[in-house]
Structure 1
Amino acid sequence: MAVGRLFEILYKLLNKRTITAGELAEHFEVSTRTIYRDIDTLSATGIPVYASKGKGGGISLLEGYSFNASMLTEREQEDVLAALHSLAAADYPDIHAVLHKMGMLFKKEGRQWLEVDFSPWGSEDQRRQLFPQLRQAIADSRLIQFRYYNGAGHESSRQAEPTQLLFKSKSWYLAAFCLASNAQRVFKISRMKDVVVLDSSFEPRLVAAAIDLAEEHAVRESVKITIRLSAKGAYRVFDEFDDAAITVNDDGSYTVSAVLPEGTWLYGYLLSFGDLLEAVEPERVRTSIMTQLDTMTIRLDTAALGRDLTCANNKEE
């Protein structure tokens, strides 16, 4: 059921009063049977819409009826518009026209109180178009091709049948049937590079719920960690962890217990806290971080020494 089409039919009836099913079917490029199903749906919601036969007949609203926005509370009206704004961020077809009309019905036209952008800060246009590009590939059942970097940093080339976009724990993922693995996979969108929608189409498969697959994979490769962060790290603590995972210590520092994916990502994540990080458990995670710090120190010192020698040689010449 196209919700946008229902709202637009109602909008047309409010402004034109009578319109034929054929006119609506032609406008929306659907069958008259679909239009009559839409009319039945509107009628079931309590809107007095009816169809009359004969000359001058058509689909009309009961004489004297006007759409009463008070059927929805102020909060419900805002929620409807928020959902439509989210669709607009994904470049959903014709959604801006629906937004305009709903804004007029709710007497909130012209209010740009919400804007949604799925791309990271500073993204180029190509990155901004990735989300609508994937959405369209899913809608059209088209194969996609891309380079992918897994959690260990390994690069691979993939072709996949995209099935669903999902949001989990501050990140967007793509659920797809991977042709290389011959199995359903969940890809983190930020790690997908050079995405191309191919001309080849596919028949959608019956697959497991993507969110369940992602959850199972995350839990299977996760570790429970306990960290202590200094009081200066409050902005990170409350931004990134649930309240139930946080303990405020007597000295103002924070102890956080959480289950996180184990591996290269975890070590990089913990290192991102810098000197805010005061303690880490379990020991093997702490040892891995210390090893990485030692490796980084050696590499940085070697690189600095190499630059100094090059500068010295240049001066002698």
Structure 2
Amino acid sequence: MQESRLFRILYYLLDKGQATAPELAEKFEVSVRTIYRDIDAMSSAGIPIYVTTGRNGGIRFLDGHILDKTFFSSGEKQEILSAIQSLSAVQYPDIDNILRKLSAIFQTGLTDWIEIDFSRWGSAAEYENQLFIQLKQAVLEKRKIRFEYFNSSGTASIREALPQKLIYKDKAWYLHAYCLLHNGCRLFRFTRIKHLFLTETYFDAIPETDQNNFSQPQDTRPLINLELQFPPEVGFKLYDQLEDDAITQTQHGYTVNLTLPETDWIYDFLMSFGEKVTIIRPQHIKQKIIEKYEAALNHYKDT
């Protein structure tokens, strides 16, 4: 218990700069005598802390020596700053101010080692950045939101939701929220959220019965085993979109083996390679690709 209180006193003084013994005694619910014993213990441990008397007296750190080589090695201090800097890269609120303070306390320079930009290229980037800022605010302030949402079939509906967290997965941002329309937790893809509005209604928590019941929907369609061959020049595209263990490099290019439900994604993926893909199996996939190309050709001929 004493060790926990010593750290809390330490951080309180880091934040306030100076405090009196009675102030600390009231803050940590101990006697003034106990506070003085704690200060003696910290001083004995090498922490540059001292007590001044008089009208403006109090307990404070020796100027210019706060935490310098007291608790952390130079490597540990750099690791702490690097970890906090990674939060800054993803726009964690007020982290830059904390980062500057700790850098000054540790007397350690900052290295500009990370930059993260989750936004897409093009005109959609500005909208998505603004949406991210608004949703982050809604999550942190626990504010109910209202928006128009387009489902996978393109049907729009007005939703009200209690936002829980932002999730970045598989090259896309999602909002995890309690949907008041369906009375359950849902994932909302950023690109399908339109006309977001932050209401003035605040909430403490989502309904307990549903808080931990969120799971991503599972595709119940039968799985197929897909075997494909690609020439060497498209290898970069394969590694961009597929897991490494699905790709086997061969003398003439690449062989890809996938086991997944037969969805439109398969056809979009295969057709994106044009003539740079050979379907080994199953044969019905090859036939459907032919039909899709013929339909597209007829469409353009007709128009």
1:103-182 mapped onto 2 (5 Å cutoff): 103-104=103-104, 105=106, 107-109=108-110, 111-122=111-122, 123-182=124-183
Deviations 1:189-233 (A, max 9, x none): 2332332222233342234558x612xx24556845523332211
Distance in structure 2 (CA, Å) of the matches to 1:112 and 1:181: 45
Identity %: 29
State the 1:98 CA deviation.
1.6
TM-score, length basis structure 2: 0.70
Structure with bigger gyration radius:
2
Q: Secondary structure at the match of 2:115?
A: coil
Moved more, 224-233 or 79-88: 79-88
Q: 1:130 to 1:107 in 2, by over 3 A?
A: same
**Where does residue 236 of structure 2 map in the other structure?**
235
Alignment of 1:208-227 (within 5 A): 208-209=211-212, 213-214=215-216, 217-218=217-218, 220=220, 223=223, 225-226=225-226, 227=228
Contact 1:146 1:192 in 2 (8 A): yes
Q: After TM superposition, give the deviation of residue 142 of structure 1 in Å.
A: 1.5
Write the distance in 1 (CA, Å) between the matches of 2:120 and 2:10: 32
Q: Deviations over 1:254-279 (max 9, x none)?
A: 323254x6533443233323333222
CA contact (8 A) 1:137 1:143 kept: yes
CA contact (8 A) 1:228 1:256 kept: no
Q: Which runs of 5+ in 2 are unaligned?
A: 1-7, 30-34
Q: Report the counterpart of residue 254 of structure 2 in structure 1.
A: 253
Report if aligned partners of 1:152, 1:264 keep a CA contact under 8 Å in 2.
Answer: no
1:1-317 → structure 2 map (5 Å cutoff): 16=17, 18-19=18-19, 32=27, 48=47, 58-61=58-61, 66-68=67-69, 71=72, 74=75, 80-104=80-104, 105=106, 107-109=108-110, 111-122=111-122, 123-205=124-206, 206=208, 207-209=210-212, 213-214=215-216, 217-218=217-218, 220=220, 223=223, 225-226=225-226, 227-259=228-260, 262-279=262-279, 281-283=281-283, 285-303=285-303
- CA separation in 2, counterparts of 1:237 and 1:145? 39
Q: Flag the 1:11–1:121 CA change in 2: closer, same or farther, 3 A.
A: farther
Matched residues in 2 for 1:21 and 1:267: separation? Answer: 72
Q: 1:113 to 1:294 in 2, by over 3 A?
A: same
Q: Report if the CA contact (8 A) 1:246-1:256 is conserved.
A: yes
Measure the CA separation in 1 of the matches of 2:61 and 2:88.
29
CA RMSD of aligned residues (A): 4.3
Could you tell me how far apart the structure 2 residues matched to 1:32 and 1:250 are? 72
Cα deviation, residue 88, structure 1: 3.0
Gap runs ≥5 in structure 1: 25-30, 304-317
Task: Determine if contact 2:128/2:190 at 8 Å carries over to the other structure.
Answer: no
For 2:144, the aligned partner's letter is L
TM-score between both structures, scaled by the size of structure 1? 0.67
Alpha carbons of 1:233 and 1:22: their partners in 2 closer, same or farther (altered >3 Å)? farther
